[in-house]
């Protein structure tokens, strides 16, 4: 993960340096670009990823992407009078494809998006009685949302997207060290594995 983050930061710096002469990304007279390469970060799960865009037409973009989550460690919370500690988004990643469409001719910065992907999200928790819990939400997922920016133009492209990710819902496993572990695993699964995740994504890329 650390190497992946270093590569992403290096590429972001390179894009920024190359973009200085074309930083006026708001101009309407910029040249049309059929392809673009981007780096993005998303939340509420901290993550970073790569994305390649290709224009099927001036209104329609197909994007393929790959991302990895940054582990959220040292989690502490109480649930049903039980104390838990652990980490979330451990070794989690995803990839897929998104179709973006610009429905308004004179407002190309606005997009509607829909996509499909496959990925895995992991979490590890321990309770005060020595039980361990492994949460996993994986398989296929869908994404729907809206975005602003990333016009199909050459040079620097910036964008922001908001939407909802829908998965099949997670499963919690336990090592069952005490008789209460099965009930606690069931409660954790009901509370934290709903299968719906909000998403906020910031993207910086280069059209060519």
**Domains of the chain by start residue, with CATH:** 2-22+36-207 (2.40.160.170)
Give the pairing type, strands 155-166 and 196-207.
Answer: antiparallel
Average pLDDT taken over every residue of the chain = 84
pTM score of the predicted model: 0.77
What does the pLDDT look like over 120-130, one tens digit per residue?
988 899 998 88
If one compares 168 and 53, the residue with the highest pLDDT of the two is 53
Decide: helix, strand or coil at residue 4. Answer: helix
Cα–Cα distance measured from residue 159 to residue 20, given in angstroms and rounded to the nearest whole number:
17
Given a contact cutoff of 8 angstroms between Cβ atoms, the answer to whether 53 and 150 are in contact is yes
User: CB count, 10 Å around CB of 195?
Assistant: 12
What does the pLDDT look like over 169-179, one tens digit per residue?
788 888 877 78
Given a contact cutoff of 8 angstroms between Cβ atoms, the answer to whether 153 and 31 are in contact is yes
pLDDT-derived band at 106 (thresholds 50, 70, 90) equals: confident
Given a contact cutoff of 8 angstroms between Cβ atoms, the answer to whether 49 and 66 are in contact is yes
Report the pLDDT averaged over residues 88-108. Answer: 90
Please tell me the predicted confidence (pLDDT) of residue 176: 77
Most confident residue range from 20-24, 113-117, 154-158: 113-117
**Above 80 in pLDDT, residue 93?**
yes
Cα–Cα distance measured from residue 172 to residue 190, given in angstroms and rounded to the nearest whole number:
9
Report the pLDDT averaged over residues 137-145. Answer: 90
**Above 60 in pLDDT, residue 26?**
no
Please tell me the predicted confidence (pLDDT) of residue 108: 80
44: preceding bond cis by omega (within 30 degrees): yes
Please tell me the predicted confidence (pLDDT) of residue 11: 54
Given a contact cutoff of 8 angstroms between Cβ atoms, the answer to whether 98 and 142 are in contact is no
Please tell me the predicted confidence (pLDDT) of residue 169: 79
């Amino acid at each position: 993960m650390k190497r992946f983050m270093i590569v992403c930061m290096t590429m972001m710096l390179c894009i920024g340096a190359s973009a200085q002469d074309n930083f006026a990304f708001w101009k309407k007279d910029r040249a049309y670009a059929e392809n673009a390469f981007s780096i993005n970060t998303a939340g509420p799960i901290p993550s970073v990823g790569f994305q390649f865009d290709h224009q099927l037409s001036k209104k329609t973009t197909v994007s393929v992407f790959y991302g990895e989550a940054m582990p959220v460690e040292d989690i502490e919370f109480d649930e049903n009078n039980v104390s838990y500690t652990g980490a979330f988004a451990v070794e989690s990643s995803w990839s897929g494809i998104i179709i973006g469409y610009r429905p308004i001719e004179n407002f190309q910065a606005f997009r509607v998006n829909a996509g499909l992907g496959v990925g895995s999200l992991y979490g590890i928790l321990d309770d005060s009685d020595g039980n361990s819990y492994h949460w996993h939400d994986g398989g296929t997922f869908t994404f729907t949302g809206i975005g602003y920016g990333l016009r199909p133009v050459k040079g620097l492209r910036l964008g922001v997207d908001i939407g909802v990710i829908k998965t099949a819902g997670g499963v919690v496993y336990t090592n069952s060290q005490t008789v209460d572990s099965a009930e606690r695993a069931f409660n954790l699964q009901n509370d934290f594995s709903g299968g719906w995740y909000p998403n906020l994504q910031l993207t910086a890329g280069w059209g060519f």
